[in-house]
Structure formats: structure tokens, C-alpha cells
Structure 1
Amino acid sequence: MIKNKMLLSVVAAAVLSACSMAPNYQQPTVELANHFPAVSGSRNQGNILADHLGWQDYFADERLRSLMALALQNNRDLRVAALNVEAVRAQYAIARANQLPALGVTGSAQKGRTAQDLSSRVDAQGQQVSFVSEAYNVGFGVTAFELDLFGRVNSLSKSALNRYFGQIQNRDAAQISLIASVADAYFAERVAQESMDLAQRVLQSREESKRLTDLSYKAGVISAIDVNIAETQIETARAGYASAQQARDQAQNAMALLIGQPIPAGLPPALPLNQQFAHVELPVGLPSDVLYRRPDVREAEFALKSANADIGAARAAFFPRINLIGSIGSGSTELNGLFDGVNRTWSFMPQITLPIFTWGQNKANLDLAEVRKNIAVAQYEKTVQAAFRDVADALVARSALRQQYQAQQKSTQAQLNRYRLVKMRYDHGISSSLELLDAERDSYSAQQALLQTQQMLLQNRADLYKALGGGLNEETQTAANETAAQ
């Protein structure tokens, strides 16, 4: 009978604990433009979206993909983000456990001798006598359980759950950022190497020109001014080579930090810079899609939900807290009689705490919870607006850089043609050495500018992939492929 009563009490407590004093959650409305700049119309249904496109399928260079795999395995920032998820998950498990009764088994044994002067026992002559006493107890019951009539414990559990979900999104955002950072460092290293090769070719050409200039100077054909100009051009090429080498070494250092180890030997050969991406274009979609495709936005919303649940816990603190503690067991002065039916014991100890004078503490806690929710709302709105700006900036840059690169290609080709024609005229004695050096300098500058524009264009494509929520999946999802094919 006692067991049945205790079981009914626990069930009733669980039913009564279902209520919550947290405000009803409503997702804030953030005013956004209907379309991103440089994009007209809605989503291109014929292409797969960035958040479904795996980085193995987006980046075509096998060498780059190998470096990304190492970064995902060894990067310390990503490891910390993953460990933070485990820490918050454990905190949620603690908060969730508080919703259920804590059950425990207790046992005790006591044996002691009572002094004659303190004894309550007397012999036949009426004199006090000492004695040895024994006591044995064993029990099973509820050691701690709060009857959550006003949803305080439930609100704290929901708050911890949303913090856990938010930390998962934080880890996902760290992975997406890592993928883009590895791509940026890789493109910087590759462009710097191309600049070194270009500077080396120009240096060899200018050294050959210097040799011919020296011969012409000795023959009295040209003056010392031409010799000095040739030497200046050689040193300029050497300075350009040293600058490109510094940029390459720094990019390699950045890559080593990202992958968490020195760059290993034996990586696959690199593809040309114009073959780095398997997908030429990424469909953008509507601005509202950003809310569902970016982990940082989802993290901000989970933080808002957590703050909303904290208000429920703060409100419940104004009402009574009821704790139920009870047990059933057996007790005896002899060990062999411990489990006899006549020695059965039970206890039930409900406790109620009603706040009367807290000197404004509960009111201050509620005010703090509401302020923190307002902060979370502002942070959510800011995150959504920042996400919109990230995509908008990447799209504007994509359009401008594409035009800039095309114009730079034509300009570079024109400078190369000019240098080729001037070189032919110089070889036939028509053009002067100054005209040749000027054409060579302009050609070298144009090629350097083309490489820098190409690097910005490559990094823009990686940044747009990140801004649209790509980089979380290793390979393209099969379901997404089927949806895109429909």
C-alpha cells in the first residue's frame, strides 16, 4: 500500500510539473530586402544550393581537398568548438536530470557500548548497568525531487537544451569558417608561387637584356644611363621575387596553423588556378533562406529561445517550491531480523518553501532575465542583418571582380603584344632600349595585377560558398541531388 501511494505521488507530481511560466516564443521579424543586390529573380531550381553542396564536390583541386581534410581532423579551434558541445551537452543532462526523482538506496549499521552512569538499564537489584547496543537500517526511496508546479525546473531544462543546440551550431559555423580559411590560404600560397615564377622569368629576361646592354655600351652605341636603367629593372624584379616569396612563406605558415601540423610531403599535384572549382555558379535564392542555411543565425535563435526559457524560471521563483523526500525500508537491532515484516519502516517528508522577503532579489532576477532576452533579440536581428550583408557583399564583389578580371585579362594580353612588338622592333634596331624596358615593365605590372585579381576572385568564390552556408557537408547529399534534379 505504501509503495502504491508513493508511486501515485511521483506520477501526480510529473503531471503537475508540465506547466510553464515562460512567455510564448515568437521568432522576431527582421526587415530584409526582397532580393540580394546583383541578383534578380528567385532561386535557380536547376542547381544545388551551397548548404547542400559538399566541399569535396565544390572544390576541384585534390591537393586543396587533402589540406581541408587535415584541417577538419587536426585544427585546434574546431576541436575546442567540438569539446564545448560536449561540455554543454553534459550541462543539459544535469538540468534534465533535475526534472526526475533522484532514487537511492541507504544502509547503516551501528554498534556501541553505553556507560553504566549513562545507562537506562538496571539489574535485578535496581542498579544501572552498561550494555552494548546494535542497530541496522536499510531503505530505498526518493532522495530529492522538486514538485515543479510552476515550471521552474522545466524552464531551466529547456534553457540548457537550447544552449546545447546553439553550441552545435557554433561548432558547425566554426567548420564552415575553417573550410573557407583553408581555401583562402591555399589560393594566397598558389598566387604567390605564380608571382615568384613570373618574377623569375622576368629576372632572367632582364639579365639577358642587361648583358646585351653592356655589349652595346662597350661598343659605344648607348650611354651609361641605359646601363643604369637596366640594372634598376633587374633589382626591381629581384625585389618582386623576394616579396612574392615572403607572401608564399607566410601563406604556408597560415596553412600549417590551420591544418594543425606542418604541410606534409606527398600531397597530390595542384591544379591550375582557373580549374579550382567544379561549379561555376552558386545559386543564391531569397534572403529569407539565409535564416535556415547559416549556423550562426540558428545559433542566435537558440540563444534567444534559451533566454526566453530563463524568464519562465525567474517567474516561477516568486511561487512556492515543494520538495518531496520519502523512503521505505526496514530496521532492526539484530542483523538476522532486519528483513522481518514486523520491522518495516517508511517515511515521507514533504517540504515547502514560500518566498516572502527576498529584498528584491527575485524581482531583480526577473528583470535581468528579461533584459537578457532583449539583448538576445537584438543579437539575433544583428546576426540576420550581418548574414544578409555577408552574402550581399560577396555577390557585389563577384560581379565586380568578374568584370575586373576580364578587363585585366584584355589589358595584360595587350601589354604582352606590345612588349612582343617592341622587342621585335628593338631587335631590328628600330626601338630604343628605353622603349623596350618601358614595355617590359608595363607587361610585368599587368601580369602581377592579373594574378592579384585572380586571387581575389578565387577567394570571393570561397567566401560566397561560406556566406551561403556551404562547407558543412563533406559530400553532396543524395537527397539534395534528387531534389535539384526534379
Structure 2
Amino acid sequence: MTKSLIALLTGTALLAGCNLAPKYERPVGAIPAALPQGGVYPAAATDAVDVSRIGWRDFFLDPRLRQVIETGLANNRDLRIAAANVLQARAQLRVQRADLLPTVNATGTGTFTNNLQGAGGAGTGTGTGSSQDIEIYQATIGLTSFELDLFGRVRNLSRAAQEQVFASEEAQRSTRISLIAEIATAWLTMASDQEQLRLSRETLRTFEDTLRLTREQFRIGVGSELEVRQADTSYQGAVSDIAALEATVALDQNALNLLVGTTVAQEQLPAGLGAEPATRDALPGDVNSDVLLRRPDVLQAEHLLIAENANIGAARAAFFPTISLTGALGTLGLGLSDLFKDGSYTYTASPSVGLPLFDFGRRTGNLNYAKASQQAAVATYEKTIQTAFREVADALAQRGKIGDQVRAQSSRAESAKVAAKLSDARFRAGVDSFLTTLDAQRTAYAAEQQLVTTRFAQGGNLVELYRALGGGLEESRAVGAVGTVPAN
């Protein structure tokens, strides 16, 4: 019996390398080899550094914004959910890997029985006998129904669970990078709206002066009621803008608080866009589409694809026999003192083979499902990388022309501001009509508003380009996947 068991285990070791999963090959051809160049796209800067290697503390220059981001990384609930997902995947992997090794159980039993000797008086005719208590003790260590993984079913399931862990870790990194970008964008949005509010309040004072002048001219008979009504229209429009912007700023703060996961301190909130840039002007040089393969969301999709590949191997293995081994080593005695004496040791070994014959298409259905899931994972991976390509291309296209827009809009706003001052002076001197002055004031106000919007678009574009190219990825990998979920 022992020789047969040794032979069985030796054969199992020889077959242990069998793997029925298809060979994994990364899908190619979903996107062009190079990112768009020429036309509206900016020329590559030869001295630019790799954006993915720039940590967020180096990329974002405003100290208030850095403090807000740091607070968000410590308190954001989406990031905590991503951390919990990593822990769940790791726990599932541990459960799945346990099937690769036998589960060893230790048991001890005691049996107490009463044996009536001479029952019925056999051979004596007396019909009397004596009673004797019998105690039987047994201790065993053994394994039950341990599957010998000859065709890689258990190993492929473990590989799939391992890839799920990798995918959850990449999802956590993706959440971290996206959160940084979302916090920065929300902070810049509030800064832009604060700037618009400041502009509206300044313009309100100008419109108020004009309204006061036209009323005085109308009172003394120099001006007309039409001019008063026109001035009041501009004044009330500025009042309405201020009220709407004050509400918008409050909404911006609420959105920022939600992203950060706590109330942002007042001293960390922006008062406006300011003259100094909030981010580095980091334009990548000589970028090809290979950089997209390092993005966490793309890596997540690839790990899920590899997991589906392994599931096909597990489904294929179900068509082959399943060999299980049940065995035990123990000792048996009629008393505790006899339990470990020579000659009391026992063993059992019960290998079994199960070969499925008729399951009415269950295994075939499982295999087809695994293959379809793998095809869906391929399509998901290709779509993910195509989406990444589009995001980078869009950011680069806007980046190529946003500088020209800011410069042109700055010149336009300055010219409109000077024109409004000149027109106001001519109106007060009686040279120009009030309608010309009013139109110049409105044009200057609109030009200043558009300049703020364009400057915000420039800052937001840099944040988006940083995110789309995997900005801070190296720092994220250095931090690693969160091993614990922070307590409240």
C-alpha cells in the first residue's frame, strides 16, 4: 500500500506542471504608435522631464493647494473604498491559495462501552454473566479530499485571484491620481469663481458711479431718463452676477469639502487665480503611446484580462479527471496509557478518482462563459487604452493653443479697459454719447470675464495633462497600496 501511495504522489509531481490556460499575449494595434503631432499640437520640448516621475508636491506650486491635496489623500472616502477593495482581494487570494495545499486536521476520540461477558450463559446453562467496561482511545492526524492539481485548475484559480489583487492595487493608484487631479481642479474652479466675483464687485462700483452720474444729469435736465435706465440695466446686471457668483463659490467649497473628506480650512481656500501659476508648466517631450501602458487604469484592465485567461484554464481542467487524496496517521489503544505504545499506530490512505461523464453541458457552458469573459476583457482593455489615448490627445491639442488664447485675451481685456476709460472721459467731457460709454464698459467687463475663464482653462489643462500622462505615478508606486483602511 505504501509503495502505491508513493508512486501516486511521484506521478502527481511529474504532472504538476500541466497548465491548460491559453498563452497570454498583450493585445496590440488598438491605438497608433505615436501621439498626435503637428498642427494644433505643441512641439515637444527636448528638455522636459517625464511627467510620470514628477510627484504632486513638486508639480503643484501653491502651498495652500498642496495642503488641501494632502488632507484629501488622508480623508477621501473613495480612496478608503479603494484601499478596502485591495484588502478584500488579498483576503480572497489567501483563501484561494489555501486550496493548493492540503488541510491537515487533528482529531481525538474516546469510546466507552459496556460488554456483558457470558451473556445468555452460553455453554454453561447458568444464564448469568459479568459486566466489563471497555475504553477505546484514538488520535489521528490526516487530510481529507485534498485535490491533486494535475491539470492546473486550482493553480489557475489562484492565478486569477492574484491578478485580481494586482488589478485592485492599480485601481487604488488610479483613484489616488484622479483624486489629486479632481481636488486641484475643484480648487482652481473656486479660485476662478472668486476671481470672477472680485471682478464683478469692481465692475459694480464702476456701474454705480455711472448710474449716479446719469441720475444727476437727468435731475438737472442735462441727461435723459433713457440714459438712466440703460445705466441701471448694467448696474443691476452686475448685482445679479455677484449674487449668482456668491452662491457658486459656496457650491465650489461644498464640492471641495466632499473631495477632501473634511471641511477645508479657510486659510487654505483660494481668494482668486492670482498672478503666480498654481502648477508647473511641465510639457512632456518625445512622448509616444507606450507611456499609456503605464497608466494605472490600463494596467488594471490588463490584469483583469490575464485573470480571465487563467479562468479559461480552470474551466478546461474541469473536463479532466479529478484525483483526491484522503489519508490519516494515528494511534489506537484500549487505554490512555496504551495510546502510544509500539504496535498501536495506524494509517489509512484513500485516493479517489472522479471522471465526469454526463453533466448536460454544464462544463461546456462554463468554458464558453470563460472564453466570452476573456473576449470582453480584451475589448475592455482596448477601450481603456483608446480612452487614455483620446484624453492625452485632447489635453495636448488644448495645450498647443491655450497659450495663444491667454495672450490674445489679455491684450483684448487691456484694450477694452483702456477704451472704457477713454470713452468715460469723453462722455464726461461731452464729446461722446452715453451709449458709446455704456457699450465700452460692457465690453471691458465681458473681456475681463473671458480672460478669467481662459486662465482657468489653462490651469485646468495642465492638471488634466498631468493626470492623463500618469503624473505622480512613480510616487504612487513608492507609496504602494494601502494596507489598512483609516479609521474615522
Q: TM (normalized to structure 2)?
A: 0.90
> How far is the alpha carbon of 1:41 from its aligned partner?
10
In 1, Cα distance between the equivalents of 2:156 and 2:42?
Answer: 43
For the Cα contact (< 8 Å) 2:166–2:300, is it kept in 1?
yes
1:244 aligns with 2:242: no
For the Cα contact (< 8 Å) 1:75–1:258, is it kept in 2?
yes
For the Cα contact (< 8 Å) 1:300–1:383, is it kept in 2?
yes
Distance 1:31 1:7, change over 3 A: same
For the Cα contact (< 8 Å) 1:42–1:286, is it kept in 2?
no
Distance 1:349 1:127, change over 3 A: farther
Consecutive unaligned residues of structure 2, counting only runs of 5 or more, are 479-488
Distance 1:257 1:14, change over 3 A: farther
Distance 1:274 1:283, change over 3 A: farther
> How far is the alpha carbon of 1:431 from its aligned partner?
2.3
1:255 aligns with 2:247: no
Q: Name 2:482's counterpart in structure 1.
A: none
Query: For residues 323-362 of structure 1, what are the structure 2 equivalents within 5 Å?
Result: 323-362=324-363
For the Cα contact (< 8 Å) 1:137–1:338, is it kept in 2?
yes
In 1, Cα distance between the equivalents of 2:70 and 2:474?
Answer: 12
In 1, Cα distance between the equivalents of 2:243 and 2:57?
Answer: 34
For the Cα contact (< 8 Å) 2:44–2:284, is it kept in 1?
no
Distance 1:269 1:181, change over 3 A: closer
Percent sequence identity over aligned pairs: 35
In 2, Cα distance between the equivalents of 1:279 and 1:300?
Answer: 30
1:58 aligns with 2:70: no
For the Cα contact (< 8 Å) 1:81–1:174, is it kept in 2?
yes
In 1, Cα distance between the equivalents of 2:306 and 2:120?
Answer: 64
Distance 1:117 1:363, change over 3 A: farther
In 2, Cα distance between the equivalents of 1:98 and 1:212?
Answer: 88
> How far is the alpha carbon of 1:118 from its aligned partner?
12
Q: Name 1:482's counterpart in structure 2.
A: none
For the Cα contact (< 8 Å) 2:402–2:458, is it kept in 1?
yes
Distance 1:10 1:42, change over 3 A: farther
In 1, Cα distance between the equivalents of 2:44 and 2:166?
Answer: 29
For the Cα contact (< 8 Å) 1:34–1:287, is it kept in 2?
yes
Q: Name 2:471's counterpart in structure 1.
A: 470
Query: For residues 260-275 of structure 1, what are the structure 2 equivalents within 5 Å?
Result: 260-267=261-268, 272=274, 274-275=276-277
Moved more, 243-252 or 121-130: 121-130
Query: For residues 201-220 of structure 1, what are the structure 2 equivalents within 5 Å?
Result: 201-220=202-221
> How far is the alpha carbon of 1:136 from its aligned partner?
1.2
The superposition leaves residues 312-348 of structure 1 with CA deviations (integer Å, 9 ceiling, x where unpaired) of 1111100100111212111112011111121111111
The superposition leaves residues 189-226 of structure 1 with CA deviations (integer Å, 9 ceiling, x where unpaired) of 00000111111111112112222222211111101111
Distance 1:366 1:474, change over 3 A: closer
1:287 aligns with 2:280: no
In 1, Cα distance between the equivalents of 2:36 and 2:385?
Answer: 16
Distance 1:277 1:160, change over 3 A: same
In 2, Cα distance between the equivalents of 1:442 and 1:117?
Answer: 119
Instruction: Look up the equivalent residue of 2:166 and give its one-letter code.
Output: F
For the Cα contact (< 8 Å) 1:426–1:436, is it kept in 2?
yes
Instruction: Look up the equivalent residue of 2:219 and give its one-letter code.
Output: K
Query: For residues 3-402 of structure 1, what are the structure 2 equivalents within 5 Å?
Result: 13-38=12-37, 46-113=47-114, 125=126, 127=128, 130-267=131-268, 272=274, 274-283=276-285, 285-292=287-294, 294-402=295-403
Consecutive unaligned residues of structure 1, counting only runs of 5 or more, are 478-486
Distance 1:266 1:457, change over 3 A: closer
For the Cα contact (< 8 Å) 2:52–2:470, is it kept in 1?
yes
Distance 1:93 1:275, change over 3 A: same
For the Cα contact (< 8 Å) 1:119–1:130, is it kept in 2?
no
Superposition RMSD on alpha carbons, in Å? 2.8
In 1, Cα distance between the equivalents of 2:90 and 2:246?
Answer: 46
